[in-house]
Structure 1
Amino acid sequence: MTPRRSAHDVLTIALRKPGDVITLRRCTQSMCRAAGLTGSPLVRLTTVVSEAGEHLLGAPGLSAHLCLEETDTVMVTVRIHWRGDHRPPSPLLSAAGRLLDDSRLTGPHDDGRHELVLAQRTAAPAASLGDLAADVRANLADGGTAADLIEVLRTQNGQLLAALEESQRQQEELQRLNAELEETNAGVMALYSELAGELQATNTGVVALYAELEDKSRRLELANGHGRPVRRLPAHPRPRRRPSRQRPRLPSSRHPQQRLARPHDVTINSNTRSNAGVDATPFPDELLQTQAAFNATYAALAASHRRDTIALRRRLLRLSVRLWWHPYWNTAHSVPAARTQLRQLARTGEAARAA
């Protein structure tokens, strides 16, 4: 059962020209504000009403009837009437159904008129609905529309100024971000150049290291062979008889602790003999500290949970270059042995500090 409606007329506007649609919009806004309808519901109702008036403009007998209706709730209602074959577009009717609390299209009736009802729910006023409708009529008749227009223009100007200020702030923020981005790009390019130089120096040091190691290996082989290169034994040597002198006995399977010599055993034994008897070398404190820092940086870089790997890699490269090209190695008697002893001393110092 449909509840009985109690309607209180406010104003009827004939829509014959575009200016009448603007007047309809202003009067709808004034009625909504007087009924306590503000914010988004007011905007939705006035927007749908003005759109419907523009689409139906030119229809015979087009008019808009503004009223306040009361059933179980209070509704701010605009009823648009016309005759003929004009019909609001389907997108407008769908939007009205989504945006408004009540939207209905009826007709044609017995008199040939169509009716489009657009309504929005509002809170019940403190005074009676009839008195509120009378106040709204008096306000519209006394020029409240002009005052409402001034208020709307003032509100729009305030919103425009706020939008301009927000745009200015966003532009300044964008300029600041662009400046920071340019500075960051310059820093990245400088870092790339520095890393490229350090990588070139490291590559040069590695090449020199390989050359020195190769030269030391050749000298050790010559020293171990008494002026002749060491003859490398095959993987599975076959015994043969020498009539001139007695050959050393080969290890048999009955002695598993004995094993055949491998090519790398010769190098290890020669290094052991060349390093044997070397006294503890007094290294400079600065060199020991550099080696300890290198060990600590390498350990930190090996940790899987670290994220600052870029800084650690750069530090590791710098420390490796300092260690390799330190002036002390120009005066060392046995550079490979001294380097090994330096690493051992650095590890011993770290273990003593940890204990």
Structure 2
Amino acid sequence: MNSFAALGADPLVSFPLTTEQDVFLLRRSGKSAAEALGVEKQDQIRLATALSELGRDLLGSDGLTVAFGVARRPLPLLLVGIDWTEDRDLGGEAVQAASRLVAVHYTPSEHAVTVEQPLTSDGRTAEAIQQVREAVLAHTEAGAPDDPRAQTSDLIAALVESRAQREELRRLNDELEETNRGVVALYSELSEELEETNRGVVALYAELEEKSRLLREASEAKTRFWANVSHELRTPVNSVVGLARLLLEFDGDGLDEEQRRQIGLISASGATLLALVDELLDVAKAESGRLEPHWAPVDLRAALGQLRGTLRGYESPGAAELIVAESGLSIVSDEVMLIRVLRNLLSNALKFTPSGTVRLDVAADRADGRDQVVFTVSDTGIGIPEEEQQQIFEEFYQVRGLHQRGRSGTGLGLPYARRLVELLGGGLELTSQPGSGTVVTVTLPADGRPAAQPAQPTSSAAESAPDDPAAPVVAVLVTVDDDDAFRASIRPLLDRLAGRVVEVAEGGRASDAVRRERPDAVLLDLHLPDLDGYAVLAELAADPALTAVPVVVLTSTPPGALDRDRLSHARAVLDKAALNLPELAAALTGAGAAGPANREEGPA
């Protein structure tokens, strides 16, 4: 077989096909050869059946010959070639039937057909090849009397094996169905669990939404609480501060040195309490994003002098010495916020510095092409452990230890100071060593916030009014305020400014009193029990007979909480806590009063 040589095969045995018995011999030889080479039984029968179909179709052709061989390929093959010399084509049905069972290569022009059967890796061993040769030769020599019986036996064996495979297939199908039922049950169970989990997630989400709503309501309620409480606290504290100032101002000659010192302490403590109330309110505002700086040029020399006087009450014999350096630097900032930051830092340093010094220094700096002002508060106190230097900026946190005895505090000072510094566009840094003191550095932009246009300095009412007018500046003055203590505290002041003072304790009676008295000016509180000051102001502005009467608002409400649009009819808005004679005189006469924002902030 020339085709075997082309395929690189070793020829084993060949014989002619001339009779029907030779076709049976071909079938048996193919099966035996495949069996000797380790081919599985099903593949043996497929090979034998394909060879039988091809041999039977070509039977009677001239020179019809069959040859067996083993190919020398990377994967060994059993090759069976059938050649003939007659000019005859192999039938299409035979080729199609054989091709369904094995690999068939048919070349009509060469009058040859080759059948390939893949073998295992050891299919080309010398022993296997010898077994194939002997098996084919045995069938050739024995003839074919038993071939029909052998064919029948093969078919029976194939049927038995097919039945066994069918039973195995049925068993596998049953197992697959059982597995599928298990998978469906598991899927159903997992779906139920997932649905239950989803219901739980939805319920949890709803609960979280409810909790968030409650937290928002609690936060809003806290802000409202601080706003209301701050007013209720500020009113009596304002009275304490005002009365203390009046005692010092009008009764100074009748007081000895110790009495003056004690009243000064009352005034300083009242101012400190008032500042603490403002800080608590500002913390609540900052949390809700409603605390905004009011930018204006700050006279640092005056501001630091005021700060030094405020903190004088902290000093006691044997305690740390407070040193506040003077500075002629200029800065655009919120003066009230700045003073509160520095007061918090200094008072905190004084509290934890039993002896030695607490010092505030101010210096100019430049970074990233921008002028800055650096405030440095240093002390020689007890210091702060490194592991707690971040926690002290958490609200209400206090470093525990023996140093806390006898030192009250809310734990809001440093967190509040850092928050205000951030609002002012700067930064706050702290370094400390236990036993060696603490240094806090506040760096602020010298020109205020980046996008802000620096406010132009304006002449205050205090600068325009006389320090001590020799005569009343108005003939008749109506004051509308429900706080008896506050009215009593400012009555001596008003008696020096007005020829006659008419007091009204209810907002609902204000318009009638103004219409009746025809005063030169009205002093109006905003928080009144029946008709608030905003409504009274609106009534006066809407009445043609009363709209020309000047109205000066006196309030303890923080500037950020004022409704400026509803105060447009007021000549000026003054802080109760910082009320003084020159300023009030200027507001009543209109000297230097630029409108409802004439004085927005009082001292810290």
TM (norm. structure 2) is: 0.31
> Which has more strand, going by share of residues?
2
TM-score (norm 1): 0.49
Higher relative contact order, chain-length normalized (CA < 8 Å, sep 6+) = 1
